[in-house]
Each structure stands twice: as C-alpha cells, then as structure tokens.
Structure 1
Amino acid sequence: MRSRLGVTPRLARWLYTLTIYLLSPLIWWRVWREWAPTHPRRERLGLIRVGGGRPRLWLHAASVGEVVTATPLIRALLDDHPDHDLVITTMTATGAERVRQTFGERVSHHFLPLDFPGSARRFITRLKPRLAIIAETELWPNLLATCQRRNVPVVVANGRLSAGAFRLYRRFGALSRGMLETVAWIGAKSTVDSERFLALGALPSRVAVTGALKFDLDVDEATREASRRLRASWGERPVWIAGSTHPGEDEQVLAAHTVLKRHLPAALLILVPRHPQRFEEVNAYCCEVGEQVQRLSIEPTLTAATTLLLGDTMGDLMTLYGCADVAFVGGSLVPIGGHNLLEPAALGVAVVSGPYLDNLREIADTLAQSDARIEVEDGQALGEALVALLSDDERRHRLGEAGQAVVAANRGALARTRRAITAQLAASTEH
C-alpha cells in the first residue's frame, strides 16, 4: 500500500537506511559513550558472542526506565520458560548496569546493534531468538524487517505512544506502517495507546489493551527491610525524596527544600538525579547553595547537621523511596514527560509531581482521580505542598494508602502479557 505521496513501506525503509548511513558518524559518536567494560563496542555492529544450545528468548529494554518497567515480565519469563535462555538488550550503559544488578547471571546481556541492515542481520543470525519482545516502544525498521525475514515473531509489551511520539511516527507514515505490519502482537498499555498504534497501521487483530505493566510492580521484602534499616539510622526527622530529577529541576527541588526548612528545620531531602553522569555536577551545586550534603556512595549514615543525602548510586531508588514520607517524582517540573509514579505509590509513600506527565498521562490521571497524587507547578508550590503534607500525618498517610490501593486495583497487565507470549511461542513452534 502506498502513502499519499506514493511512498511504499519498502521504499520508505530504503530511504531511512540511506539516511542513517549518511548520519553514521554522528550516530556512532552518540553511542560511543554508551559503553561497559564487559561489552565490546563491536556489539553495536551485531558482533555478539552467544553460547549454549538452548532456545533463546530476546527482550529489549532501551534504558533504565524500561528495564524497571519490564522487571516483573523478565522474572515471569524466567519462571515460565526455564528451558530457554533469556537475552536482554539495552541501548544505554545505565540500562545494562541495572540488568546486571537485578538479574546477575540469570540472564545474558548485549547492547542493541545500530539499525544498519548488516548489523541487524548479524545480530539476529547469531542470536537466533525464538521470540523478540520489545518493552514499551523502541522500534527499529531494519531490525524488525530482519526478524520478519528470519521468521522471528515480534511482540510489543507495555506498548505506549506519547502524543509527541505519535506525531513523529505519523510524519513517517509509510515507514511506521511497514514496521507495525510485521509485529505479531502489541499489548498496549491504554486505550489511547491502542488507538494510536492502529492509526499508524497496526493490524486490529494483533492489538490488545493489557493495561500498564508498571502496576504489576512487586516490592520484595528485602527492599522494604533495607528501607526500614536505613531510615531508622537517621533518627526522628521529616524525610522527603526527589527521584529521577533532570537539569532545570534540581534548582526547583532545592528551592522547595529551602521553603520546607523554614517550617521544619530538621527536614532531610534525598536527591536522586536521573542520570549518573550528573552526580558530580549536582553534588557541586548542592554544596554551592549551602546544603550540608552526604553522598550515599560514600556513607549512608547521616549527622544531625546533614540536610541533603545525594543518591549517587545505581539500583537503590526503590530503597530510598521507602525511606521517605513524601516522594516527588522527577521529569515532571521540566518538559521531559515524567517518570514512574507507581514506585513510591506501591510503597505507600505520598506522591507529588509536576505537570509534565505526557509519558504516563493515564497513570497520572488514575492516581489523581483517586486522590493519590498532588500536582504542583513549580518549586515554590512544591515547597508549600511539602510543608502541608509533612505537617499533617493523617492527610499524608491517606494519600499514601490511596496510592497503594490504585496499584493493587490495576494489576493484571503482566498476566495478560504472559499469556500472549506463551501463545506466540506455541504458534511459532507449530510453524
């Protein structure tokens, strides 16, 4: 089928490939920094080493956020298919580190190859997966085309398309349609996401609304106990956390902390920047504005004079959320689109966010409608909300309990996705 401009999906992919070849120096420079000592950079060209003779399942989770969201699904795949090896790919080094910390030797990890035809071909030829699972929506035309040629079914789990992503995919209509027509099954996280996939060319018989995998977040007892021990070591003081913050947001968070300390001088802020490459920069800024900073990577034990704990380690965000009375979730006071609101909610911690929540609008609205989230416009409003919540135990506990109830009531996406994956595996075996 041709687009209105007469471009077929095949021609669109040819033009896309030509473009990425022309841009290859820039693309290679961009991914050069996303490197881990245990993974040679040649993996970006599909030159991976795989061992063993067992069948393989392949799951791709682009970065830390996708790995966190996909963690319940990864655990389910390990339980459901013990006769398969599970291979996880990420695009970023931080995502790779999160996979290593969470799963260790239970899974294999590689970096996703760049989407050149030869790289995609080498990767699929060497990996030989029985099924490819894409967490959320990072779709690469040549990789999907290679999967189709090699008869590898592709499943999209927790599929989401923000308004911005939808507009971008729609601009390249023939290319998007060509990709989506090759996908065996899409588990959309909401009705809106489902409608957007269909509008881009996904086949109606292959799209289902599963709900969001993030609701199936499982907080283990070890994490809860680590939170209790850490919080107890700090004594009796109000504690709030700003998790997954971005440039332009840290300043507003510190302004809010200044407002809070005027009312509650003993208040402690746990500040966790989203990206580890910003740890040093954020630490310097916090010291510059007069905060008494302790770094988690150096010593989690605080003194009474400590006003700010910098969460400069990887994999500890859930533990730190569990230490807090109130959680502000970052990426929402600046136009990033928001991060996982359900992590603190699942722990019964009162949730506050900014207004920029395009990446998880339905989840944000569900929490707000259940009086389980407070929205603020800027750092001053955040400070005022913190004063109100930390001065009112009953209201704060009510907000936290409402968040836990929302998480419990909306579970189920994991079970639906597991059933679809098992069905796709069975169908691929029959063929």
Structure 2
Amino acid sequence: MRLIWRGFKAPDYFKRWNERFGFIKSRTSTQKLIWVHAVSVGEAEACRPLIQGLQQRYPAHKILITTMTPTGSARVKMLFADKVMHVYLPYDLPFAVKRFLKAMRPQFGVIMETELWPNLIMECAKQSIPLVIANARLSARSARGYQKVSKLAGQMLQSLPLIATQTHSDRERFIQLGAAKEKVHVVGNLKYEITLPASAIERAEAIRALWGNRPVFIAASTHEGEEEQIIDAARKIRGQFRDLLLIIVPRHPERFDRVAALCRRSGLNTLRRSEGKPCNSQVQALVVDSMGELSTFYGTADVAFVGGSLVAHGGHNLLEPAALSRPVIIGPHYFNFLEVTKQFVEHHAAIEVKNAEQLADTVIDLLTAPQRRAEMGDAGRQLIEQSKGASQRLLNLIDIYISHAKR
C-alpha cells in the first residue's frame, strides 16, 4: 500500500518491486563483495569518498550500493555508473532480508548514517556478516525515540562491531543506548569530504553569464510550508532589488508541480527548468525540477538558503553551497545537522533566521554587501578544508575492526 501511495506521487515507486522484497538475482561470481547502504541522495553523495577509498584498498572486491529511494538510485547511477552494483535494499521483513543476503553474500556491510533496521542488523549478526554504521548521527530527539524501545536498540547496537560517529555528542548518545564504548569511535563527518566536479562549476558560470548582473537568491531542498514563506520573503526583497531572480529547488520530485503552481498563483513569472526555455530578464522565479543539478544552481546564486529549516523538518546539509563559497542562511529548525550548523554560525559562515521577514532582511543585507558575502564564503570553505579526513579515519577503522578479521 505504501508503494502504491508513493507511486501516485512519484511514478518510479511503481518500478522494481521485486527488489523491495528481496527477490534479487543471486550472484554467481566468487568475487568478494562489499556492501554499502545509502538510503537516498544525500547519503549517496556522502559515501562517494568512502567508495573510492574502498575501491583503492580492496581492488579485488566488488562494491554493491543499496538505496531506498528512486532519487537515491538515480544518484548512484549518475555518480558511479557501472563501476558498482546497485539494487534497492528490501524492506525490513525477515524473509526479504534473508533473500537479499543469500543472493548478494556480502563479506561485510557499511550502513550510512542511522538506518537501524532490527531484522537486517540481527540477521547479519546471525550470519556473521559484520556491519559498520558510518557517518553515524543520533540527535537528542531520535535518541529519545529509541529509548522507548531501549532493549531492542541495545541488542542491535551491541551486535555491531563498529559505529563511526560524526561527533562526540553522537558517540555519547549511542553509548547511552547500549553500544559498547570500545566499538564507538568519532571520525568526523564524511560530508565534509565534498568535492564538486569542475563541470558543475563551469556550467554554473556559463548559466550565470546568460543572466547578466541581476541578483540571484536560491532556496534549496525546500519542504511543504516553506515555499510560501520564501515567496513572501522574495516579495520584500524585490522591493529593494526589482530584478531579483528567485530559484526554488524542492526537496522531493513529487512536489515539483505543486511548487511551480504555487509560484504562478503568487503572481510570479515562473519558468520550470524542464521547459528548456531561456531564463530571460522577465522570469522572476525559476523552479529547478530536475535531478542532479543542485550544485550547479548553488553556483549561480549570490545567496543560498538551505531548506527544511523554516519548518520543523530538521534542516539539510549546508556544506554544498559552502563548498562553492556561497553565504548560507538557515532557519531555526536544524536539529538533524546541529553540530555542523552551529559551527558554521559560530564562524560567521552561516546566518540563522527565525522567519520569512528575517530571511528577507538578511538576503537584502547580503545583496548590498558583496564584501560580507565573500567573507562568509571564505569562512565556509575554510571550515570544510579544516574538517576533512573522516573517510580515511573510517577506512582505517574498517581495516582494523572488520576486513582484517575477515581475511
């Protein structure tokens, strides 16, 4: 029923149902397999340096990447093409998990962030397949949720040979839930390993050259209830900058149509990226309804707002615009990226706003102060450079705790 419901909004959910229930063609090769699970787009991006490191350290192994979402699947294919295997991870049903593991026969697995599925984790333990939780994060809010099933959470965590957390706070929360201290290590955030392709930067420069000197404000990874606030903010900004171009990038593809319709109902001359038409000076709002182009459009903007933060969703990753030296604005709800966002705010690489009015005022201030924009961009890029190295630390731990034991 869930697949049908999601399929009406995003038709790709109607496809590949066999994989959702573990019906996957068994591997006939005797080549050893390393399995990495990246639930969606953000995790697929974050695991890129890890995958490259695994391929270098274990050249004789095959890599399997699983996802749960069609957008994540598309991103894996875009990033890695035929260099890796890819299927959906099945739902956490005992029979589906067993079929998946029997068909793939991984030597060990790496699960990105906090995808704690009880049947999957316990079945891997039963079959002596070591699992690593990588780039692990656990907010105080999520920890309270797991405390309600503390016995089950403790059993899961105790069966894991290695948990590599982003921060010391994450480590403490995992230990409080029952993970063994000696198995939980702080390695940093893999998402700091961001490397943007030169082609994306070149495309951004080429697109921006076509738009001239008009100011550009991007609101990316937006959610239900945010676009209205962003449009209100843009209306106030346009009072100061009449030729403002607002770019909106909704987080989920199934909302592309609704967001474009909302912009038009609000009286904005709106263009959708998929229309393939030039974004001329008459266009007031550009809705990016394509996949894999977020970094390009971040690169076209003067100021970037990262969504999921004006509503209580928990925010999204602000490292991508920061890596492009863009000044970043976030709303008050960023509990999913608490430590990273706090660090950026403290180092004046990001600005927190409480509502649409503050968002508008902040964008106006930044658009009138190019030197401040440059300083914020430099501060963000420096933070990223200083924080790299998580993938190498993780690979070293995998070598010590996992692969060495399996040789």
Q: Report the TM range for the smaller structure's normalisation.
A: over 0.9
Aligned-residue offset at 1:220: 2.0
Aligned-residue offset at 1:256: 1.0
Aligned to 2:398: 421
Aligned to 1:89: 66
Give structure 2 stretches of 5+ with no counterpart. none
**Change over 3 Å in CA distance of 1:303–1:361 after alignment to 2:** same
For each residue in 1:240-289, what CA deviation from the matched residue of structure 2 results, as whole angstroms up to 9, or x when unmatched? 11000001000011111111111011111110000000000100110111
Q: Is the 8 A contact 1:234 1:301 kept in 2?
A: no
Aligned-residue offset at 1:68: 2.2
Aligned to 1:111: 88
Kindly report the root-mean-square deviation, in angstroms, between the aligned alpha carbons of the 2 structures. Answer: 1.7
Counterpart among 28, 41, 49 of residue 25 in structure 2: 49
Q: Is the 8 A contact 1:331 1:339 kept in 2?
A: yes
User: Does the alignment pair 1:199 with 2:192?
Assistant: no
Aligned residue pairs: how many? 405
Aligned-residue offset at 1:293: 1.1
Secondary structure of the structure 2 residue equivalent to 1:86: strand
Secondary structure of the structure 2 residue equivalent to 1:89: strand
**Change over 3 Å in CA distance of 1:267–1:31 after alignment to 2:** closer
Q: Is the 8 A contact 1:130 1:425 kept in 2?
A: no
Q: Is the 8 A contact 2:34 2:107 kept in 1?
A: yes
Give structure 1 stretches of 5+ with no counterpart. 1-25
User: Does the alignment pair 1:246 with 2:223?
Assistant: yes
Cα distance in 2 between the residues matched to 1:198 and 1:425: 20
Q: Is the 8 A contact 1:184 1:206 kept in 2?
A: yes
Cα distance in 1 between the residues matched to 2:140 and 2:7: 30
Secondary structure of the structure 2 residue equivalent to 1:421: helix
Aligned-residue offset at 1:226: 1.4
Aligned to 2:274: 297
Cα distance in 1 between the residues matched to 2:399 and 2:21: 30
Aligned-residue offset at 1:164: 1.7
Q: If the length of structure 1 is used for normalisation, what is the TM-score? A: 0.90
Aligned to 2:321: 344
Aligned to 1:399: 376
Aligned-residue offset at 1:422: 2.6
Tell which deviates more after alignment, 30-39 or 129-138.
30-39
Letter in 2 for 1:180: L
Aligned-residue offset at 1:222: 1.6
For each residue in 1:136-172, what CA deviation from the matched residue of structure 2 results, as whole angstroms up to 9, or x when unmatched? 0001111111111111110011000112211111110
Describe how 1:321-400 pairs up with structure 2 within 5 A: 321-400=298-377
For each residue in 1:330-354, what CA deviation from the matched residue of structure 2 results, as whole angstroms up to 9, or x when unmatched? 0000000000111101110000010
* Identical positions, percent: 39
Aligned-residue offset at 1:119: 1.1
Tell which deviates more after alignment, 51-60 or 174-183.
51-60
Cα distance in 2 between the residues matched to 1:226 and 1:424: 42
Aligned-residue offset at 1:81: 2.4
Secondary structure of the structure 1 residue equivalent to 2:381: helix
Cα distance in 2 between the residues matched to 1:30 and 1:177: 33
Secondary structure of the structure 1 residue equivalent to 2:247: strand
Secondary structure of the structure 2 residue equivalent to 1:129: coil
Aligned-residue offset at 1:36: 4.0
Tell which deviates more after alignment, 159-168 or 355-364.
159-168
Aligned-residue offset at 1:309: 1.1
